[in-house]
Amino acid sequence: MAFRHGKVQIKVLEGDITEIRADAIVNPANSYLLMGGGVAGAIKRKGGLEIEKEARKMAPIEIGEAVVTSAGRLPAKWVIHAPTVKRPAGKASLESVSLATRAALRAAEEVGARSIAFPAMGAGVGGLSVKEAVQTMLTEITNYIDQGTELREIMLVAWGEKALKEFMSAFEKVLKLDRG
């Protein structure tokens, strides 16, 4: 599923974020930038330990901030680390998802990215439902685009068929809200 909001195409895909061809992919990090489990662990396993080593040099960072590292062996150019939780295995909130999404979008623009891929920020290890997390992300993304952006493609990547259904449900709900 895809739609255009302003000059930006927003897509929902099923797949592994570590295999997405985008300028940047987002790691829903913890403030210490330790990459143990969930999306962070997958990024470290496939992209290489150097991603975590590079990120750790910039830690700690607050929720609402983001840092950018190289992407190691991943097909992306950069990994954007945007905390949704303070501590590893902490619980995310919808506010932290909103702040992390906005920080990741800003960081992507700062490095000149034109495409960015997000997982369900704050879901999984973070404890939020996929649908709520993605609704919050989409609201933040559309608000960000409305303020003007050089980004041209934003991908929301669902891990598995069940998550894809939740992404689609969130997508439809936010689109209906946008339409009034």
Per-residue pLDDT band for 104 (boundaries 50, 70, 90) equals very high
pLDDT of residue 180: 43
CATH number at residue 59: 3.40.220.10
Number of domains in the chain: 1
* Residue 47 CB neighbour total at 10 angstroms: 23
pTM strictly above 0.85: yes
- In this predicted model, what pLDDT tens digit does every residue of 59-92 receive, in sequence order? 999 999 999 999 999 999 999 999 999 999 899 9
Crossing angle for the helix pair 130-146 and 161-178, to the nearest 10 degrees: 40
Mean pLDDT estimate for the chain: 94
What's at 4, amino acid-wise? R
pLDDT of residue 72: 98
pLDDT of residue 142: 94
For residue 20, the enclosing domain spans: 2-178
- The yes-or-no verdict on residue 177 having pLDDT over 70 is no
Per-residue pLDDT band for 3 (boundaries 50, 70, 90) equals confident
Cβ-Cβ contacts under 8 Å for 48 (sequence gap 6 or more): 72, 73
pLDDT of residue 178: 52
